[in-house]
Each structure stands twice: as C-alpha cells, then as structure tokens.
Amino acid sequence: MAALAAAMSDTSRMKILCALMDGRAWTATELSAMAEIAASTASAHLSRLLKANLVTCLSQGRHRYFRLYSHHIAALLEQMMGITSYSIKPPNLKVPAELLKARTCYDHLAGEIAVSLYTALVQHRWITADGNHLTKHGTEKLLQLGISLDKKTKRKECYACLDWSERKFHLGGHTGALLFQFFENEGWINRTPGYREVIVTLKGRKALKKYFHVEI
C-alpha cells in the first residue's frame, strides 16, 4: 500500500492518471500536454506508473499508447476524488459545470445524469435495490435494446459506484460499461476529445426519456 501511494504521490503523475480516466489510450506526448510537463518528464513518470501496475502500455506500430491498468484502478481514483472533495467547501469547489453534468468514469458514465439513470434503473426494477445485480426484467429490457451481457466476463455484473460530485450512486461494472458503449454507438452521447466531459445529444435526451424515464 505504501509503495502504491508513493507511486501516486506526485502532482504530474496524478494529472496523467486523471487524464486516463476517460477510458482511452494516449501517447506519452499527448499525456505530457495534458499534464503540462516536458515529454521526457512524462516518460519518466509513466515508467514509474508502469512499475506500480497503475498503467499499462500498448504497442501499435511505431507508437506506444498508455491506459489505466484496469477498471479497479479507475474505481480507486474515483473514490480518491470523492474523498479529497470532502475537504473542500462547496463554494470553493471549482469544477466545470459540464464535468458535473456528465463525464466518463473510466468505461462507464458518471455525473448528475448518470446518477439520475441509476435511480431510474432501481425504481423501474432493472437492477436490484443495492445495484449489485440485474433483475430478470432488466435483462429482458436490455435485450430489447440489443444489449446482451458477456457471460464469460470476470467483471461484476453491475455495482453501485459512488459518484464523487453527486455523493450518490451511478452504475458501474459490466452493465455500466455496456450501457456507455451502447449510448455512444447510438449517438446518444459524444465524448469531448482529450477530456472526461460527455455531451448528451438531442437524440440522447429523447432516448433516455423514452427508454429510461430520465429527464434532462
């Protein structure tokens, strides 16, 4: 635990980790721009993060891409954001409104809209009250939308992920990731390149209201 904390105990390394919370893979050059440091410095930090198994490296031709090691690391970072926000008084919490509205939490949706979606899924019996399981009704509803779970996955079917800005739950796990992917493929949401902000399109607003009873 001490070794892991030591690997994270640097502002630039934390900026890199937070940038990777959008779930995508980035080059060292791109991450250096996000962290506002030199490319050589970013490479040194990435080497430290690799040794700590906080990030992983993917080689694609001449390029090397970095991403978070796993969804477990993303969950840890999201929880840390929630813990640190407790010590900041609301008037001093300078977070962009778009980020509070909707953002990525690694591979699933977070923010105000995601919390509303989670609440609707519980109320309409798509998931159990504790958020840890899909109901038979929920499984059938997902299949009607064309979403089927991978029964071979080692990830939890779904779980209640504490949203650091809303202090309520949004949906994580395999189901949360599938819903996010589905929303993106259907054009219901658009990612903001290089950032965690997610924009819900007009088509998405109508669809979320129609299928999930979520008003935006």
- CA dist 5 and 7 (Å) reads 5
Per-residue pLDDT tens for 29-45?
Answer: 989 998 999 989 999 99
> Could you tell me the fold of the domain covering 2-69?
Arc Repressor Mutant, subunit A (1.10.10)
Residues of the chain with CATH 1.10.10.10: 2-69
Q: What is the pLDDT of residues 170-200, one digit of tens each?
A: 999 999 999 999 999 999 999 987 778 999 9
What mean pLDDT do residues 138-159 have? 92
Residue 187 DSSP symbol? T
Q: Give the model's confidence band at 137: pLDDT under 50 very low, under 70 low, under 90 confident, else very high.
A: very high
